[in-house]
Chain A
Amino acid sequence: MIFFLMRRLLQAVAVMFVISVIGFAIQDGLGDPVRQLLGPTATDAESTALRHSLGLDRPLWMQYLDFAGDAVKLNFGDSYFFHEPALDVIARYLPATLELVAASAMITLLLSVPVGIFCAIRPRSWLSRGLMGLSLIGISVPVFLSAMVLIQLFSIGIQVTLFPTGTGWGQWLNQLLSIQGGMPAYGRGNPVHVWGVWYTNFASWQGLLYLLLPALSLAFVMLPLFVRLIHAEMLEVLESDYVKYARARGLRPSRIYFLHALKNTLLPVVTLGGVQIGTLVAYTLLTETVFQWPGAGLMFLDAIERADMPLIVAYLMVVGLIFVVTNTLVDLLYRGLNPRVTLSGRAA
């Protein structure tokens, strides 16, 4: 256990090191931060002075050593744009992203478990066939596209004029098929301030309304995968001897399905879910762009635009850390759920 955690820690350090080196290697590639700060009217003397005061005129390796030394102390330098510590900036933007990820993870779980189970129990019903078909299509829909479809449907709305408007039934059908829209699809609205420091969308109806479409579109990334996984695992478990035995013993079907069978599908679901939390964070880059959700992803893309190196590097480090931590937690959880696995990484 200790050995395992140590190895993970080493891996985390390696990831951080690689990211910081990459961040430094690309430093000059993104345009000149000095020019960005001073604007087009600056004289040469002014930019030289600022370059000197930012320490940008020294050899790269010296800048890197300085940076690495500070990074160990959790100091990634001041953002060129915000004039405050990069980590503070991220701390301000990250909660919005995490709320989005949490909400979509919740939606994914709440929808995929019942759908997956239903499709496994009633494989021949038209509903489960439709749902499985949908899940197959869902895998092939990029997240920004589902986001746009949601915006078109629920924010902009659809006016159907397919049927003759002169007739009563035509008008009725048109109205039936039209969608009003009006759902908020931009930004975070007005998050409620709770517990001193936390601005949240979870604490008001209006906040939840703003959260709904972005979270839903992000959930569509994982939902089809989860449905298919739970469905497949359930099918396998339902075929297993002990479920057959339980049936033979006359246990209530609901008890079999939800207690015995479901429990056995949890293992792969947890594994996939854990791995995918990191991926979800990556996909927020797209969701936040479409919905202009003021989270860390949008901040990161802005930072790239502004060549704000400290912020870019700090963001990559934080995301790398999130990946490593979730992966470690998943492995630990996996071990808790499945005693056959030793933590050296291989199944015994």
Chain B
Amino acid sequence: MSFENGSPSTAWRRFRDSYFLYRLQRDRRAQICLLLFGLLMIGLLLTPWIAPSNPYDLAQINLLDSELPPFWIAGSEPGHPLGTDAQGRDLLSTMLYGARVSLAIGFGAVLVQSLLGTVLGLLAGYRGGVVDALLMRLADIQLSFSTLMMAIVVGAVVKAAFGGAFYGDYGVAILITIIGLSEWPQYARTVRASVLAEKRKEYVEAARVLGFSSYRIMWRHILPNTLSPILVLSTVQIANAIMAEAALSFLGLGMPETKPSLGSLIKSGFDYLQSGSWWITLLPGLFLVLLVLVVNLLGDWLRDTMNPRLYKG
């Protein structure tokens, strides 16, 4: 392959020739996944325009339409292809809006934990000594608890302390913080491990000899080299964060009835499982599984492709 000098789109060219794309072209499963993920993303971005109704607009809800079945069961109505929930909300619309909430929380939480974990991991790895020992023991203690347990306790306390209305208004932000705070050690350990590996390398030594500040060395030299494990970890963590949010919502510590995420939809439908309206709870459940599965598969493929050094355990 020949390189033409002065081409306006070298970035694109670099991407086209990358190993990444090479692998993608050869992996059918990854292609399907990426396609599905893209479709889901587009669907969720366009939700306000493609959803049959707006579940947040209470005026559109009619209790007399409640528990209509999905289209393949007798008694369904064409306006509600996947049926309605116990309140009479269109299930398809509610699910789409709910998935947006779930995904936003997933991304947000991962942003929080990766920022926090990366900074602390860099610090611990680069500085070493007391800082390292302190941070890593803190991580140990936090990891010796299940993160789900942490999130439940913190969620219950926040909800009780600030009241349900506050929780309802800032639910997304609160859940992002809770899940973000309880998972930072994963990142810190991974980043620290790569920093320890990088630190010994000559280019860092050289930078230090040249008199660069340690801040500059960390951000400009070491951090870029830890990006691929962070990226791979992040896909897994997004899936985990979505699941954690669903679990919290299921326990009533997540999104409120008025702005349901997929988890709260599953929860509110559970009461009606016994009366035969299984779709209220199982269809959002299916959607949740699809969402998480696609993210997980992408993560799997990224891991295989980038083959990063991950902290195991």
A and B touch in the complex (CB under 8 A): yes
A residues apposed to B, CB below 8 Å: 11, 14-15, 18, 22, 26, 28-31, 136-137, 139-145, 148-149, 151-152, 156, 271, 275, 278-279, 281-283, 285-286, 289-290, 301, 304, 307, 316, 319-320, 323-324, 327
Q: 6 nearest interchain CB pairs?
A: A282-B146, A29-B161, A140-B292, A140-B293, A145-B285, A282-B149
The DSSP consensus for interface residues of chain B is helix
Closest partner residue, chain B, to A10 (CB atom): B137
Residues of B within 8 A of A320 (CB): 144-145
User: Does chain A have a CB within 8 A of B107?
Assistant: no
Given contacts A156-B274, A286-B251, contact A145 B149 (CB under 8 A): no
24 A-B interface contacts by CB (under 8 A): A11-B144, A14-B137, A15-B144, A28-B161, A136-B296, A136-B297, A139-B296, A140-B296, A142-B263, A144-B246, A144-B247, A145-B288, A148-B281, A152-B273, A152-B278, A156-B274, A156-B278, A282-B149, A285-B148, A289-B251, A301-B251, A307-B160, A323-B144, A323-B145
Asked if B246 contacts A26 (CB within 8 A), the reply is: no
Residue picked from A15, A279, A304, A320, most chain B C-beta under 10 Å: A304
How many residues of B are in contact with the other chain, CB < 8 A?
Answer: 39
Least CB distance from B126 to A in Å reads 20
User: Does chain A have a CB within 8 A of B250?
Assistant: yes
Least CB distance from B80 to A in Å reads 20
User: Does chain A have a CB within 8 A of B96?
Assistant: no
Least CB distance from A290 to B in Å reads 7
Q: Knowing that A29-B161, A320-B144 are A-B contacts, what are 7 other residue pairs whose CB atoms are under 8 Å apart, sorted by A's residue number?
A: A15-B141, A18-B141, A30-B161, A136-B297, A136-B300, A142-B292, A152-B282
Within 8 A of A (CB), among B124-150: 137, 140-141, 144-146, 148-149
Least CB distance from B139 to A in Å reads 12
Residues of A within 8 A of B21 (CB): none
Asked if B160 contacts A142 (CB within 8 A), the reply is: no
CB within 8 A of B144: which of A22, A316, A327? A327
Residues of B within 8 A of A285 (CB): 148-149, 152, 251
B residues apposed to A, CB below 8 Å: 137, 140-141, 144-146, 148-149, 152-153, 156-158, 160-161, 239, 243, 246-247, 250-251, 263, 266, 270, 273-274, 276, 278, 281-282, 285, 288-289, 292-293, 296-297, 300, 313
Residues of A within 8 A of B146 (CB): 278-279, 281-283, 323
Residues of A within 8 A of B161 (CB): 26, 28-30
CB within 8 A of A149: which of B141, B282, B313? B282
Asked if B270 contacts A290 (CB within 8 A), the reply is: yes
Least CB distance from A139 to B in Å reads 6
